[in-house]
């Protein structure tokens, strides 16, 4: 049995109906609402075939049918006609995005908030990954006898502070010399590439402050990799309550627990392929807790290099067409904005 054109049209009709209604769709509904030129009985037969092929499932006998993950996948890959995003909306989004530019984190959080507001799904975002950024400036500042503050600025605009505890008292001037030296040697380095070897080479050329540098730099680099500190942004968590599929406390709890757990979000977004727009449907998700959700993400880049991701998560019955458009367009806006305000 093959998927002929009529079957595809019926599948499309069912999925579109289901996305807006959240109710199982029966053959009569389709024959009435869509002009397919065949009777409900024919549609009934076709639906039976579509179920056999795995694109539809029946919650119970004597109910209509709902799309399976496989059905949604086909829909997304083949049946989605990409309409253009409303110009006004695009313009508004970009306006909101650049309304108040502070640090990059602020910008990304802004993007997440816009995304949730415009799509009415929960939005996710990760701030530029420090490891993938280049070191732009490094500065050591004495705080008191036992502490110095290391400030690291990256090309993507991220500023990261680390308080270091030290034994020996180092003078302001000495710290300045070390700062300058580190700047000189490490500027432009990919932060992820600064490893033991690099640090070893670093101190080969300098004798006076060798010990201090070996005390300071590894701790500093380590603290940059602290994942608990990494910027994960969420907005619109409570949007999930608007969907009938989460009219169940257990499910709502599971969703919110998952999404509030930053490491989950981080792994999910970082593990994915780094393609432009990525769509993960239901059971395709690697986390069991969200096997009834779809996730749509897009990357954002600086200097042609992907540095982070934004996206939304919601029920598999998601308005794919709209969300894909919004996410893509917002990620392009982000690229623009980053280029303009944070260019290397």
Partner DNA sequence: CATTAGCACTCAACGAACTAGAGTGCTAAT
Partner DNA sequence: ATTAGCACTCTAGTTCGTTGAGTGCTAATG
According to the binding rule CB under 7 A, does residue 67 interact with DNA?
Answer: no
According to the binding rule CB under 8 A, does residue 98 interact with its own copies?
Answer: no
Nearer to DNA, 24 or 308 (CB): 24
According to the binding rule CB under 7 A, does residue 61 interact with DNA?
Answer: yes
- Residues 146-175 binding its own copies (CB under 8 A) are 149, 151, 153, 157, 159, 161-163
According to the binding rule CB under 8 A, does residue 257 interact with its own copies?
Answer: yes
Task: Reduce the secondary structure of the chain to three states and give it as a string.
Answer: CCCCHHHHHHHHHHHHHHHHHCCCECHHHHHHHCCCCCCHHHHHHHHHHHHHCCCEECCCCCCCEEECHHHHHHHHHHHCCCCCCCHHHHHHHHHHHCCCCCCHHHHHHHHHHHHHHHHCCEEEEECCCHHHCEEEEEEEEEEECCEEEEEEEECCCCEEEEEEECCCCCCHHHHHHHHHHHHHHHCCCEHHHCCHHHHHHHHHCCCCCHHHHHHHHHHHHHHHCCHHHCCEEEECHHHHHHCHHHCCHHHHHHHHHHHHCHHHHHHHHHHCCCCCEEEEEHHHCCCHHHCCEEEEEEEEEECCEEEEEEEEEEECCCCHHHHHHHHHHHHHHHHHHHHHHHCC
Q: How far apart are CB 44 and DNA at their closest, in Å?
A: 5
Cα dihedral angle (194, 270, 82, 89), rounded to 10 degrees?
-80
Q: How far apart are CB 176 and its own copies at their closest, in Å?
A: 8
How many chain residues touch DNA (CB under 7 A)?
A: 25
Q: Which of 11, 13, 19, 26 touches DNA by CB under 7 A?
A: 26
Of the listed pieces 30-38, 86-94, 132-140, 279-287, which binds its own copies according to CB under 8 A?
132-140
Q: Which of 208, 260, 263, 303 touches its own copies by CB under 8 A?
A: 260
According to the binding rule CB under 8 A, does residue 38 interact with its own copies?
Answer: no
According to the binding rule CB under 8 A, does residue 340 interact with its own copies?
Answer: no
According to the binding rule CB under 8 A, does residue 137 interact with its own copies?
Answer: yes
Q: Which of 41, 63, 89, 143 touches its own copies by CB under 8 A?
A: 143
Of the listed pieces 44-52, 174-182, 190-198, 281-289, which binds DNA according to CB under 7 A?
44-52
Positions in the binding site for DNA (CB under 7 A): 23-29, 37-42, 44-45, 47-48, 51, 58, 60-65
Residues that bind its own copies in the complex, under the rule CB under 8 A: 102-103, 106, 136-137, 139, 141-143, 149, 151, 153, 157, 159, 161-163, 223, 226, 229, 237-238, 241, 247, 249, 252-253, 256-257, 260
């Amino acid at each position: 049995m093959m998927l002929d054109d009529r079957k595809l049209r019926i599948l499309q009709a069912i999925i579109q109906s289901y996305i807006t209604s959240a109710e199982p769709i029966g053959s009569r509904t389709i024959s009435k609402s869509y002009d397919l030129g065949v009777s409900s009985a024919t549609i009934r037969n076709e639906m039976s075939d579509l179920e056999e092929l795995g694109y539809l499932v029946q919650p119970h006998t004597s109910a209509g049918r709902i799309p399976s993950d496989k059905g949604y996948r086909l829909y997304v890959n083949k049946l989605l006609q990409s309409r253009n995003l409303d110009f006004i909306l695009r313009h508004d989004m970009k306006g909101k995005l650049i309304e108040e530019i502070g640090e990059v984190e602020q910008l990304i959080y802004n993007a997440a908030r816009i995304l949730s507001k415009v799509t009415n799904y929960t939005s996710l975002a990760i701030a530029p990954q420090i490891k993938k950024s280049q070191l732009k400036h490094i500065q050591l500042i004495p705080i008191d006898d036992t502490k110095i503050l290391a400030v690291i600025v990256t090309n993507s605009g991220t500023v990261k502070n680390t308080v270091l505890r030290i034994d020996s008292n180092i003078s302001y001037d000495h710290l300045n010399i070390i700062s300058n030296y580190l700047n000189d040697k490490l500027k432009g380095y990919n932060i992820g590439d600064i490893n033991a070897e690099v640090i070893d080479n670093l101190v080969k050329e300098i004798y006076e402050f060798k010990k201090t540098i070996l005390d300071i730099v590894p701790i500093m680099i380590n603290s940059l990799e602290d994942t608990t500190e990494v910027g994960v942004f969420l907005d619109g968590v409570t949007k999930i309550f608007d969907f009938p599929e989460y009219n169940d406390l257990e499910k709502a709890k599971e969703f919110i627990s998952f999404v509030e757990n930053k490491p989950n979000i981080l792994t999910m977004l970082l593990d994915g392929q780094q393609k432009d727009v990525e769509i993960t449907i239901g059971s395709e998700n690697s986390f069991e807790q969200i096997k009834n959700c779809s996730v749509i993400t897009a990357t954002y880049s600086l200097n042609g290099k992907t540095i982070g991701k934004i996206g939304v998560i919601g029920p598999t019955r998601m308005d794919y067409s709209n969300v894909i458009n919004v996410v893509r367009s917002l990620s392009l806006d982000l690229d623009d904005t980053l280029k303009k305000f944070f260019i290397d």
